Amino acid sequence: MLNVLLLGPQGAGKGTQGKLISGENGIPHIATGDILRAAMAAGTELGRKVKPIYDAGGLVPDDIMIELIRERLCADDAANGFVLDGFPRTAVQAEALDEMLDEIGRPLSVVLEFQLPEEVSIERLTLRAQEEGRADDTPESIRNRLRLYHEQTEPLIEHYRARGNLVGVPANRPIEEVFEEIQRALEQVAVRR
Ligand code: ADP
């Protein structure tokens, strides 16, 4: 079982690496942003509810996100593990995740902390805005998301460091190099178990 959590600022490449980890290890990439975008595209009740928050770069309420993740982690395809990307983003979400993983007896194998200078983050998001035209890649929304990352999500790094399963990943490098380093870290985890 390989339970991987990805932490790090916007634009650090969590989505890209999450998909690679998923493919290589046969575990699903559970990305909250992707789940929300799918809900909005499908026009579900969840999608309609989160759209204004998402577009402004705000945080969807904790209770909604926690229920979403609780259900997703219990799905059959996550039985052998998962790559969780975009959750937790707040202390309340982190506590809820600890609790639910405890309940189902599935501790995190490793927490990968993607490290990227803020100016590179902004550069990458600006480029992505031009290329993909994501609704939340406007300058204002990008500022908001980075601010919320620093205020609410960055402190979670210490939460996981204290538990001893945090691995730093310098993310300002080519995709293949970052992925190689991640795979090495995941092999270490496998050896330790
Ligand atoms: P990024 O990390 O580049 O901001 P994501 O695709 O991970 O992009 O998330 C996009 C948006 O989805 C966030 O700005 C937020 O509105 C919402 N979202 C995703 N995950 C969460 C979460 N765990 N808690 C609250 N809101 C979330």
Domain boundaries, the chain: 2-187
Arithmetic mean of pLDDT, 34-57: 97
- CB 124 near ligand 1, within 6 Å: no
- CB 53 near ligand 1, within 6 Å: yes
Label residue 25 exposed, middle or buried (CB < 10 Å: 0-12, 13-18, 19+). Answer: middle
Q: Which residues pair with 110 in a beta bridge?
A: 4
**Considering only CA atoms, which of 134, 3, 139 is closest in space to residue 72?**
3
- pLDDT band at 153; cut points 50, 70, 90: very high
Q: Is 147 annotated in the active site?
A: no
Whole-number percent of the chain with pLDDT over 70? 98
Q: Is 128 annotated in the active site?
A: yes
Calpha distance 29→77 (Å, rounded): 10
Write down the pLDDT at residue 164.
Answer: 86
Average model confidence (pLDDT) across the chain: 95
Is domain 2-187 given the CATH code 3.40.50.300 in the classification?
Answer: yes
Arithmetic mean of pLDDT, 157-167: 94
Q: Is 14 annotated in the active site?
A: yes
pTM beyond cutoff 0.85: yes
What is the signed CA dihedral for 31, 13, 191, 87, rounded to 10 degrees?
-30
- CB 47 near ligand 1, within 6 Å: no
Tokens matching residue 175: 């995709």
Whether residue 88 is preceded by a cis peptide bond, meaning omega within 30 degrees of 0, is yes
Least confident of 41-55, 116-130, 163-177: 116-130
Residue type, 11: G
pLDDT digits (tens, 9 = 90+) for 11-32: 999 999 999 999 999 999 999 9
Reply yes or no on whether the pLDDT at 193 is more than 70. no
Residue type, 150: H
Distance from residue 145's CA to the centre of ligand 1 (Å)? 8
Distance from residue 193's CA to the centre of ligand 1 (Å)? 32
Residue type, 161: R
Calpha distance 12→169 (Å, rounded): 10
**Active-site residue among 89, 147, 173, 192?**
89
**Considering only CA atoms, which of 33, 36, 41, 1 is closest in space to residue 14?**
33
- CB 15 near ligand 1, within 6 Å: no
